[in-house]
Structure formats: structure tokens, C-alpha cells
């Protein structure tokens, strides 16, 4: 298989209507050890930011998404713009599809669906830095 692991994607391709963070980044805690998770590839601590997809066609359950960022220090999410909502964009995004078991069918077979795990290198306010899903350094070099 040609593609394995995390697949690079552009923020604007994944979220053409944008996303809104609903709070600050939080440590991703391992359920069993109660310690902060570390990324298996980088060894850095993993943080999670809860966002809502602004796509008007997305149903409520599908619009609540967690974006993981591995970084030595907690990523800073922009201040709220209205209520608890903070418009944000992510640079250096990747997606990993996986099979989620959602219960059993009446015949006893497992019910599954394709789910997605999103990661990013950085978070920022829209229009600041990277733009169009490019890393901030690439956008700065292009200017």
C-alpha cells in the first residue's frame, strides 16, 4: 500500500467553512495511566483542541471534532471572538482514517463506520501566518 500512517491535508480542503475552538488546548490524558499522552513518532506531549466545523451541512454530532497537536508547551488558542467561540485555523494538518465500532446490528454483526483522527503542527487565528493550510514559515518565505 502506497499511503500508510498520517496523510497530509490542507486546512481549507478539510474545513472549507472554517472551525471554531470552544476552549483552550488541554493535555490529552491516557485513560489508563492518567498521564499526558506522548506522540509515538516525536515523543512530544500531545494536546487536544475541541472545535466545531462551521459547515452548515454537517450534523451536530459530526461537527464536534478534536484536533491533536504535539508540542513541548501548550498551544495558545486565540481569544474568543463571540461567546465561547474562537475562530481558528491549523497548519501542518494530517488525517488518519480508522474503523470505529459503533455497536451491533440486530443480526449480531458489528456496526462500523470510517472515522478520522486529525492532527496539526500549529493553531492560529484565521488570516494570520500560514494561510491556505501552508505552514507559517512557507507563507512568510513566499511574501
Instruction: Give the model's pLDDT for residue 129.
Output: 62
pTM summary value: 0.79
123-143 per-position pLDDT tens digit? 999 987 654 433 333 333 333
Closest CA to 52 of 88, 8, 12: 88
Three-class SS state of 47: strand
Q: Between 39 and 63, where is the model more confident?
A: 39
- Find the mean pLDDT for residues 42-61: 89
At residue 91, does pLDDT exceed 50?
A: yes
What are residue 44's DSSP bridge partners? Answer: none
Once rounded to an integer, what is the mean pLDDT over residues 61-82? 91
Residue 48 banded pLDDT, cuts 50, 70, 90: very high
The residues pairing with 26 across neighbouring beta strands, listed in sequence order, are 48
Residue 29: what pLDDT?
Answer: 95
Kindly tell me the burial class for residue 51, based on how many C-beta atoms sit within 10 Å of its own C-beta (0-12, 13-18, 19 or more): buried
Amino acid at each position: 500500500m502506497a499511503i500508510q500512517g498520517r496523510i497530509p491535508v490542507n486546512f481549507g480542503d478539510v474545513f472549507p467553512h472554517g472551525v471554531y475552538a470552544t476552549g483552550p488546548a488541554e493535555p490529552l490524558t491516557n485513560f489508563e495511566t492518567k498521564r499526558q499522552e506522548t506522540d509515538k513518532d516525536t515523543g512530544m506531549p500531545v494536546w487536544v483542541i475541541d472545535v466545531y466545523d462551521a459547515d452548515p451541512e454537517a450534523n451536530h454530532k459530526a461537527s464536534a471534532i478534536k484536533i491533536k497537536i504535539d508540542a513541548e508547551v501548550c498551544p495558545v488558542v486565540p481569544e474568543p471572538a463571540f461567546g465561547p467561540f474562537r475562530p481558528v485555523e491549523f497548519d501542518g494538518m494530517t488525517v488518519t482514517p480508522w474503523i470505529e465500532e459503533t455497536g451491533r446490528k440486530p443480526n449480531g454483526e458489528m456496526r462500523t463506520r470510517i472515522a478520522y483522527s486529525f492532527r496539526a503542527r500549529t493553531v492560529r487565528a484565521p488570516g494570520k501566518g500560514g494561510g491556505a493550510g501552508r505552514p507559517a514559515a512557507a507563507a512568510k518565505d513566499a511574501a
